[in-house]
Each structure stands twice: as C-alpha cells, then as structure tokens.
Amino acid sequence: MLVLGIETSCDETAAAIVRDGKEILSNVIYSQVKTHAAFGGVVPELASREHLLKIGPIVDQAFTDSGLDLDDMDGIAATSGPGLIGSLLVGLTYAKALAFSKQKPLAAVNHIEGHIYSVSFEHPEVEFPALALVVSGGHTNLFWVESESGDFRCLKYKLVGKTRDDAAGEAYDKVAKLLGLSYPGGPVIDHLAKTGNRDAISFSIPKISDRSLDFSFSGIKTAVLRLVKENEKFKEDPLRLDLVASFQEAVVNMLWSTTLKAIHLLRPRSIMLSGGVAANSRLREAFSGRTADASLKFYYPKPILTTDNAAMIAAAGTAKLMRGETAPIDVNADPNMRLAVSDKDFPDKRWKT
Ligand code: KG4
Ligand code: ZN
C-alpha cells in the first residue's frame, strides 16, 4: 500500500511517500523557522500563508524523490488536528482535493498519533502494552498504548498524564528567549548544555500529587526568569552554560519521575519517546540508562523523524486505511483534537487518580 502523507499542523510544510507503513520512499520537510525566528515563536497568520505557498512544490518534490506519481497512490493521509487551524486547513484541504480528483481513499490523522508512529519505522518490534511519552513544542502527553494486533496496525490509546501548563518544548523555547538565544530554543540549549554543569543549580521539581501522572513546566521556567532578573551574569557564559544545563536536567527529571510513576502503576512492556523534544541528547541518554535499570525496552526515532514530518502521518494513515477508517471528503480540521478512545475500552482502572 502506497500512501502520500501531508503535514502542516504548525510551522513545517511536509510531504512523504511511504510503502506499507514501513518504508519511507521520500520525506520532504520545509521548515519555516526563518520566518518565525524574529518573533521568538510561531506567528499563526504567517505560518498559514507560507504553507499555502509551499504545499504544492513540497508535495511535487515528494513525488519526484520517490519516482512515483499520484496515480500510483493507494491513499492519502493528512493531519487534521491538533494544531493551528489556518495551518491545518492548508494541508488537509490540499489532501482532500487530491483525494477527490483521483477518487483515492483519505485518512484524517491525529498529529500526536503521528508522533507515536514515528517510532514504528525503525522499531516495528515494540512490545505492547507500552507507555508513549510525546514531548513537543505544543504537547507533553503520556499515553498508555495497547495493541489488538500485537503490533502497530491496531493501537488504542489512553491519556494518563499531560502538562498542566507549558509543554516541555515550550519551556525550552521560552527559556532560550529570555536568555537571548535563537528560536527554536531546544536544539540551542541541548548544544550549550553539553559544556555546562547540570548540577550547578538545583531546581525543585513541582509536586503535583503523589498519584497524578501530570507534568508542569512553568515553575522551572519562572525560576530561571527569577535567577536571570536577580543576576544579569546568568545571561553570559560560563554562568549561562550552567543555567541551561541545570534547567535541562530539571526538565529531564520531571519527565522521568512521572514516567517512572506510570511504570510502577501500569507495568508496561516498553517505553516510546517521540515529538520534537525527543531529539534532546540528554533526554535520550537519561531515559536509555534509566529504562535499562528498570529492565524495560526503550524506543525512540532518529532525529529527522522526531520533529514534525509527514512520513509519520503516512504511517499512522496507512494503519487507518488498512482498518478501513477512511475520512469523508467533508472532514474538517480540529485544532483541539484529542487522541483517546472511550473509557469502556479500558476497563482496567489502575490509572484512575
Ligand atoms: O514536534 P515538534 O517539531 O513540533 C510540535 O509538534 O510542537 O517540536 C518542536 C519543539 C520545539 O519546542 C523545539 O524547541 C523542541 O521541539 N526541540 C528540542 C530539541 N529539538 C527540538 N528540545 C530539546 N532538545 C532538542 N534537541
Ligand atoms: Zn509535532
């Protein structure tokens, strides 16, 4: 099954062709980072305008790179939410037009589900039930994932933890901004933190409640802000290096402590990490070591598949199309789309807090 994937939920215009949900034949990503860098964050109006300019050429490039064309496709998958409404509409409408013109089946894919499928290319062997931690600029979600087929073909999700305020990536971007670093903040802080001392400053991890699996990152961000206000030297090296290394360590520990709580409570067979922040070198290192200590399998995608891309959308879409879950041609984008099924599919109440 050949599927064209399209992703435009935020500030990447992306198209990819994937065979059988497994083999990436092309994966084209146009990042708008230059457009938004001056503003220190994504400007929705500018994002949708740029998607409009790029969507045609990017989809054409995906076909050229794969040596295939629209007639060869067995289906089209596009992100329909969550994300910026104006951005989502560009990719989804383009996909609908292609599907309608050639009478191809259409799949409307949840962006977060796409991030979970980004793991499936290199690790089809993931053992379920699993915990999936999706950490990006817009989301910090912990899902309990079960598989009816034993593999990625038929997954169901239960949201067991989420951020109560900022997403982890958002905290990186905000801290970078207040230190005068470039946007997006994640990769810059990741790089600078390598030469800082991560034990220099101890940020207290916010206590939510013993049984809650939620996250919170605004406290750490505010603590950084306070330090910088009190002492301008934190904006310069070497103090700045220690500050970003310690901030990063606090974020990693927050993510790990909640994941560990979920491991004890739910007993998964493996842990999956995905989303833009999953590219973080310290996060990967810490989770690799700590999951090994807990005798758990740990999986994450290579960097090109962690940030927003359309291959992951094509993979999630392929699973949907194979299950016959096609979207009607009048399907709409949903900026607040949730990824979860009804509680009756999860009679086990272990995670009720
Ligand atoms: O998944 P993604 O591309 O877009 C969303 O769906 O939000 O994630 C983007 C986020 C940004 O906040 C960016 O700063 C963060 O991922 N990020 C990183 C790293 N690379 C990207 N955060 C920490 N370390 C990195 N190496
Ligand atoms: Zn994303």
Summarize pLDDT for 310-331 with one digit per residue, the tens.
Answer: 999 999 999 999 999 999 999 9
Percent of the chain clearing pLDDT 90 (strictly above):
91
Per-residue model confidence (pLDDT) at position 133: 98
Statement: residue 84 has pLDDT above 90: yes
Per-residue model confidence (pLDDT) at position 209: 74
Look at residues 314, 285, 67, 42 and name the one whose alpha carbon lies nearest to residue 167. Answer: 42
Q: How far apart (Å, rounded) are the C-alpha atoms in residues 150 and 250? A: 35
Look at residues 131, 135, 289, 264 and name the one whose alpha carbon lies nearest to residue 210. Answer: 264
Please provide the average confidence, as pLDDT, over all residues in the chain: 94
Lowest mean pLDDT among 103-117, 201-215, 234-248: 201-215
Q: Which ligand is nearest to the CA of 31?
A: 1
Per-residue model confidence (pLDDT) at position 308: 96
Q: What is the 3-state secondary structure (H, E, C) of the chain?
A: CEEEEEECCCCEEEEEEEECCCEEEEEEEEECHHHHHCCCCCCHHHHHHHHHHHHHHHHHHHHHHHCCCHHHCCEEEEEEECCCHHHHHHHHHHHHHHHHHHCCCEEEEEHHHHHHHCCCCCCCCCCCCEEEEEECCCCEEEEEEEECCCCCCCEEEEEEEEECCCCHHHHHHHHHHHCCCCCCHHHHHHHHHCCCCCCCCCCCCCCCCCCCCCECCHHHHHHHHHHHHHCHHHHCCCHHHHHHHHHHHHHHHHHHHHHHHHHHHHCCCEEEEECHHHHCHHHHHHHHHHHHHCCCEEECCCHHHHCCCCHHHHHHHHHHHHCCCCCCCCCCCCCCCCCCCCHHHCCCCCCCC
Under DSSP, is residue 145 helix (H, G, I), strand (E, B) or coil?
Answer: strand
Question: Which residues partner with 106 through β-bridges?
Answer: 76
Look at residues 118, 135, 168 and name the one whose alpha carbon lies nearest to residue 309. Answer: 118
By DSSP bridging, strand 140-147 and strand 130-135 are: antiparallel
Per-residue model confidence (pLDDT) at position 344: 59
Token representation of residue 196? 């800082």
Ligand 2 centroid, distance to 200 Cα (angstroms): 31
For the CA of 176, the closest atom of ligand 1 is 14
Place 15 in a pLDDT band, splitting at 50, 70 and 90. very high
Please compute the mean of the pLDDT values over residues 248-265 and round it to a whole number: 96
Place 207 in a pLDDT band, splitting at 50, 70 and 90. confident
Statement: residue 350 has pLDDT above 70: no
Statement: residue 353 has pLDDT above 50: no
Place 41 in a pLDDT band, splitting at 50, 70 and 90. confident
Mutation test residue for ligand 1: of 29, 136, 306, the one with most atoms within 8 Å of CB: 136
Please compute the mean of the pLDDT values over residues 171-191 and round it to a whole number: 94
Statement: residue 184 has pLDDT above 50: yes
What predicted TM-score, i.e. pTM, was given to this entire model?
0.95
Please compute the mean of the pLDDT values over residues 237-264 and round it to a whole number: 96
- Answer with the residue of higher pLDDT: 119 or 350: 119
Q: Which ligand is nearest to the CA of 113?
A: 2
Statement: residue 210 has pLDDT above 90: no
Please compute the mean of the pLDDT values over residues 43-56 and round it to a whole number: 97
Per-residue model confidence (pLDDT) at position 292: 96
- The counts of H helices and E strands in the chain are 11, 10
Pocket, ligand 1, Cβ cutoff 6 A: 10, 136-138, 169, 172-173, 184-187, 190, 275-277, 279-280, 307-308
Please compute the mean of the pLDDT values over residues 298-308 and round it to a whole number: 96
Token representation of residue 186? 């994640």
Residue 256 contacts residue 287 (beta carbons within 8 Å)? yes
Per-residue model confidence (pLDDT) at position 349: 53
- Answer with the residue of higher pLDDT: 204 or 141: 141
Statement: residue 341 has pLDDT above 90: no
Statement: residue 40 has pLDDT above 90: no
Mutation test residue for ligand 1: of 31, 36, 277, 280, the one with most atoms within 8 Å of CB: 277
Please compute the mean of the pLDDT values over residues 105-126 and round it to a whole number: 98
